[in-house]
Amino acid sequence: MTVNIIVLIKKLNNTIKVLAVALLILILTLLIFPDTNQAVDINIPKHYRKNPIVVENLKTGTTHWQLTNPATKREIEGYASLTSVNRGDKIKFFVNTKEPTYTIEIFRMGWYGNKGGRQITPVIKRKGVKQPPPIVDPATGLIECDWKDPYVLKIPDNPDNSTVWTSGIYLAKLTAGTSGKQSYIIFVVRDDTRASDILFQSSVTTYQAYNNWGGMSLYRWNSRGKQAYKVSFNRPYTLSPNRAAAYGVGAGEFLTNFQPKRRTSSAGWEYNMVRWLERQGYDVTYSTDIDTHENRLDPYSGKSMLLLHKAFLSVGHDEYWSWQMRQNVEAARDAGVNLGFFSSNSCYWQIRLEPSQITGNINRTIVAYKENAALDPYARDKDPSNDYLVTTVWRKKPVNLPEDALIGVMYQTFQVNADIVINHTAPNWLLTDTQLMQNHSQASTSKDLQSSSKQIRLEGLLGYEVDRMFGNAPYNTIRVAHSPYRYGRGIRYADMTVYTTDSGAIVFATGSMQWSWGLDDYNVPQLRSSVLNADAQIMTRNVLAQMLKQETENSEQ
């Protein structure tokens, strides 16, 4: 008995020693590597890896991605060589600062337990470079940088594990070494061969159209003199005109926006939808509208990029489309890919994409003559075969392709901030499980929804630009919402629609940019009031569920 007790005591002493050593190692690790987000991926069993978004958002998030000392006077700024990069490829970051050193920290944006992002790389230390002034083309207003000494990032790729550098929207946070001033470089990591349920498009052509870095944009109101006819991706994204939104500098319209403060809140739209989708665990990959333009072929399946997915999402402000973008999206719809336009003012201006005049790299220059379309070389060359590419609004001559023929609605006006009012014709599947369902059942018996004692209303989700039906939508388009708003001394109406194509694809359009504000409260209270809405969230789930269900049924036929 005594011998057994002695053996037991020895075993306990050994166990205590092992635990003590393990505890010492843990303490040393925390002291040496205090930020556990830097480059550590948790080991998750394979059977949980079917949805990389779920796996990714189980990893430790951080709020360190946020700018606490924004560079409001261009103390540090940068741009990427590409708007998006596929896993396994390289991207370059060009940075300008007068300070002797700076750092780069790279974050993937998502939900991450409401932290909003995850740090992917350790801190990258660099010597500062004062870059040369941009090259200016006085004829077109094009401003393009030719900066040197980029940081080259190689994105790892493990074909068997999509949770390493998971497809997403990424921010490279730049911090100047002396002043501590900060700004972003935004880019997307694609996963071209992964057939996710949802493809989320970031609308970078619209970012760039409003970007007036160097004094020129595609708009007269924020350009130096007349507006530019060409703008380049080879330049940083500038500061919002609202200094309260300075914490989005460098990220385009992803976090904040470039609109004048007098028109709308300076809050962005896309990030709210990203946070919500990833919080809900949807299987989503990411791209930009430059990728929609290119629509690369998958070497394994032989399918184009858009056809690998069940649903394609346009979110927020998606105003500038090339001919190829529209052709590719329409072809995807006709092949059964569902389209979700959680946006407004979409596909309003036609653009062309040209190579950089400095590097020759493709699709780095946007061409848009817009109100001055008569000056477009394609309009002046007396060659009618290319008139369809003139950079004017899609609905007008010589293009003559109204946006609502694709979307169901098209742009009416801006500077709206009102409520979405659901129409009595809304399908039951859209309202399933919402608090509105009982009201809908009552109102549907009335000839006039407005006469119902209980209105079906989503407060604050209409704006700031709104769409309506113009008569060019497919014959079976259902008007889901018909929402009044004040315009001048009168009342106008905005519309939300849905239709189903012969291919079985569902095309849904909110007709409002602010829909994603009902899903997530990022930018509250700094830039706007909360309009979080449980019914809008349920309706969004219902739309996506119907799209994914519909696509599955189509594939089984």
Partnered with residue 112 across adjacent β-strands are: none
What does the DSSP assignment read for 130-181?
A: -PPPPEEETTTTEEE----SPEEEEPP--TT-TTSS-SEEEEEEEEETTT--
State the Cα–Cα distance between residues 81 and 144, nearest whole angstrom: 12
Q: CB–CB of 112/137 below 8 Å?
A: no
Task: Look at residue 435 in the predicted model and tell me its pLDDT.
Answer: 78
Listed residue (234, 290, 276) closest to 109, CA to CA:
276
Q: Which two tokens stand for residue 3?
A: 């011998």
User: Which residues, at least 6 apart from 359, have a Cβ–Cβ distance to it below 8 Å?
Assistant: 146, 234
Chain-centre distance for alpha carbon 26: 39
State how far the Cα of 1 lies from the Cα of 538, in Å rounded to an integer: 67
Q: How far apart are CA 51 and CA 29, in angstroms?
A: 31
CA torsion 263→264→270→276, rounded to 10°?
Answer: -160
φ, ψ for residue 73 (rounded to 5)? -125, 30
CA-CA distance, 248 to 251, in Å (whole number)? 6
Sign of CA dihedral 447, 453, 454, 455: positive
pLDDT at 32: 36
Tens of each residue's pLDDT in the chain, 557 residues:
544 544 444 544 554 554 454 454 344 334 333 333 333 334 444 544 589 999 999 999 999 999 999 999 999 999 999 999 999 999 999 999 999 999 999 999 999 999 999 999 999 999 999 999 999 999 999 999 999 999 999 999 888 888 899 999 999 999 999 999 999 999 999 999 999 999 999 999 999 999 999 999 999 999 999 999 999 999 999 999 999 999 999 999 999 999 988 888 999 999 999 999 999 999 999 999 999 999 999 988 999 999 999 999 999 999 999 999 999 999 999 999 999 999 999 999 999 999 999 999 999 999 999 999 999 999 999 999 999 999 999 999 999 999 999 999 999 999 999 999 987 789 999 999 987 675 545 444 334 444 444 558 999 999 999 999 999 999 999 999 999 999 999 999 999 999 999 999 999 999 999 999 999 999 999 999 999 999 999 999 999 999 998 555 555 55
How many whole angstroms separate alpha carbon 412 and alpha carbon 494? 8
Return the DSSP state at 545: H
262, two tokens: 């007098």
Q: Is 0.85 surpassed by the pTM of this model?
A: yes
Query: How big is the chain by its Cα radius of gyration, in Å?
Result: 25
pLDDT of residue 434: 87
HSE-CB of 328 using CA atoms within 13 angstroms? 21
Cis peptide before 402 (omega within 30 of 0): no
Measure the CA–CA gap between 477 and 366, rounded to whole angstroms.
33
Taking the CA atoms of residue 253, residue 259, residue 261 and residue 265 in that order, the dihedral angle to the nearest 10 degrees is -50
Q: Could you tell me whether strands 76-80 and 84-86 are parallel, antiparallel, or unpaired per DSSP bridges? A: unpaired
Q: Which residues contact 439 (CB under 8 A, 6 or more apart)?
A: 452, 454, 455, 456
Domains (ranges, CATH) in the chain?
53-309 (2.60.40.10), 404-556 (no CATH)
Query: How far, CA to CA in Å, does 408 sit from each of 58, 72, 201, 307, 496?
Result: 38, 41, 19, 21, 8
* Dihedral sign computed on CA atoms, order 514, 519, 522, 526: positive
**CA–CA separation, 202 and 171 (whole Å):** 13
Question: Rounded distance, CA 153 to CA 423, Å?
Answer: 50
CA distance 492 to 484: 6
**Letter string b/e over residues 201-224, b meaning 16 or more CB atoms within 10 A of that residue's CB:** bbbbbbbbbbbbbbebbbeeebbe
Residue that is written with structure tokens 């071209």 in the block: 192
Whether 290 and 204 have beta carbons less than 8 Å apart is answered as yes
Q: What is the DSSP letter of 427?
A: -
Nearest CA to 182 among 120, 239, 131?
239
Residues 494 and 467: beta-carbon distance below 8 Å: yes
Model pLDDT, residue 308: 97
Record the tokens describing residue 218, joined without a space: 């595609």
Q: Give the DSSP per-residue string, 70-129.
A: B-TTSSEEEEES-SEEETT-EEEEEEEESSSEEEEEEEEES-TTTT-EEE-SPPEEEE--
